[in-house]
């Protein structure tokens, strides 16, 4: 059974830019950044996630909401293992399929077919099983003979088709999505959405970050509201949305998030 445990997880990004003082002032004027701090080396850091503790279990369909810079994408990347927490512990049990940063892990010198095989092997899928599925996966990409050629010969749209097909070759236990599906090719978008929708139903845990409420209402059974890297509220979709609306309609002054700024 899939599960995710976050215990006091933090992610700090160090900002290396020239004038730390003016940079900090600029960021503090912005309503959208995570909390800014000095680290032990007097560097300015952005606290993108701030001591997050959270348990997700089988059946959880979690929508992440919050203003720009709240930490949604950072949290997804931590769950995907793209970022290591800079503090705290994370334990993920189950096969994770991130449907973002799709190009990560593609071998540009290998063929499309071999990339699909490598992805399956990475997940421990039997060679025979993936060969049985290959015809369907290849048909899904509509890349035809290009699947025999190195990926570096593909256009951006073709690479995305392959990356999406390779990522979804194996049924996910834990499905992670940023803004549902970001594909610009309209015809492929419809196919990709149908495929992802099937995955949402078959996955054990799903986490999606989105600003689109109809997407959250359709896909999720819980919402997690983040601001400045901290959890404001987690609970049933309608309840959290009502609190979020109430908060945003009352936030007419201040930093735009209604959350106190860190000390300048
Ligand atoms: N690679 C990075 N380097 C420095 N700061 C970063 C980096 N990635 C994110 N941040 C900062 O971390 C904070 C959280 O960003 P994140 O992208 O997780 O927010 P988000 O909730 O996904 O925002 P949005 O809704 O605008 O996509 C922001 O202040 C952002 O500026």
pLDDT digits 0-9 by tens, 115-169: 999 888 877 778 888 888 899 889 999 999 999 999 999 998 899 899 888 888 7
pLDDT digits 0-9 by tens, 171-206: 889 999 988 776 667 788 888 888 888 888 889 999
pLDDT digits 0-9 by tens, 45-87: 889 999 999 999 999 999 999 999 999 999 999 999 989 999 9
List every span in the chain annotated with CATH 3.40.50.300: 3-94+211-250
Name every residue whose Cβ is closer than 8 Å to that of residue 263 and which is 6 or more positions away in sequence: none
Query: From CA 20, how far away is CA 153, in angstroms rounded?
Result: 42
Q: Whose CA is nearest to atom 24 of ligand 1?
A: 68
Question: What is the value of pTM for the model shown?
Answer: 0.83
Q: Looking at domain 3-94+211-250, does it have CATH number 3.40.50.300?
A: yes
The sign of the dihedral angle between the CA atoms of 68, 74, 75, 79 is positive
Q: Whose CA is nearest to atom 29 of ligand 1?
A: 33
For a pocket test of ligand 1, which of 34, 64, 80, 100 has the largest count of ligand atoms closer than 8 A to its C-beta?
A: 34
Residue 256 in this model has a pLDDT that exceeds 50: no
CB contact at 8 A, 75 and 226: yes
Query: From CA 203, how far away is CA 229, in angstroms rounded?
Result: 26
pLDDT digits 0-9 by tens, 83-110: 999 999 999 999 888 888 777 778 999 9
Say yes or no: CB of residue 13 within 6 Å of ligand 1. Answer: yes
Say yes or no: CB of residue 175 within 6 Å of ligand 1. Answer: no
Query: From CA 206, how far away is CA 57, in angstroms rounded?
Result: 10
Alpha carbon distances (Å) from 175 to 27, 96, 189: 33, 6, 18
Q: How remote is the CA of residue 131 from the centroid of ligand 1, in Å?
A: 39
Say yes or no: CB of residue 224 within 6 Å of ligand 1. Answer: no
Say yes or no: CB of residue 66 within 6 Å of ligand 1. Answer: yes
For a pocket test of ligand 1, which of 52, 69, 213 has the largest count of ligand atoms closer than 8 A to its C-beta?
A: 69
Which atom of ligand 1 is least distant from the CA of 229? 14
Query: From CA 28, how far away is CA 74, in angstroms rounded?
Result: 19
Q: How remote is the CA of residue 152 from the centroid of ligand 1, in Å?
A: 30
What ipTM score was computed for the predicted complex, to two decimals?
Answer: 0.97
Say yes or no: CB of residue 45 within 6 Å of ligand 1. Answer: no
């Amino acid at each position: 059974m899939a599960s995710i445990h976050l215990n006091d997880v933090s992610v700090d990004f160090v900002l290396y830019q020239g004038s730390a003082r003016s940079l900090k002032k600029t960021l503090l004027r912005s309503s959208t950044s995570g909390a800014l701090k000095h680290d032990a080396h007097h560097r300015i850091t952005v606290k993108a996630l701030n001591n997050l503790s959270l348990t997700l279990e089988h059946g959880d369909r979690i929508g992440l909401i919050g203003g720009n810079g709240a930490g949604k994408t950072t949290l997804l990347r931590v769950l995907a293992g793209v970022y290591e927490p800079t503090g705290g512990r994370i334990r993920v049990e189950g096969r994770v399929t991130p449907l973002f940063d799709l190009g990560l892990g593609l071998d540009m010198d290998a063929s499309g077919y071999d990339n699909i095989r490598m992805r399956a092997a990475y997940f421990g899928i039997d060679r025979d099983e993936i060969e049985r599925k290959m015809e369907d996966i290849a048909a899904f990409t509509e890349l035809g003979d290009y699947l025999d050629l190195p990926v570096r010969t593909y256009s951006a749209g073709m690479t995305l088709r392959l990356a999406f097909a390779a990522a979804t070759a194996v049924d996910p236990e834990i499905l992670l999505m940023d803004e549902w599906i970001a594909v610009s090719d309209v015809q492929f978008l419809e196919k990709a959405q149908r495929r992802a929708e099937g995955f949402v139903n078959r996955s054990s845990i799903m986490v999606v970050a989105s600003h689109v409420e109809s997407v959250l209402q359709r896909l999720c059974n819980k919402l997690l509201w983040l601001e400045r890297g901290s959890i404001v509220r987690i609970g049933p979709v309608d309840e959290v949305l009502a609190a979020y609306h109430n908060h945003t309609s009352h936030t007419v002054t201040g930093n735009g998030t209604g959350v106190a700024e860190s000390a300048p």
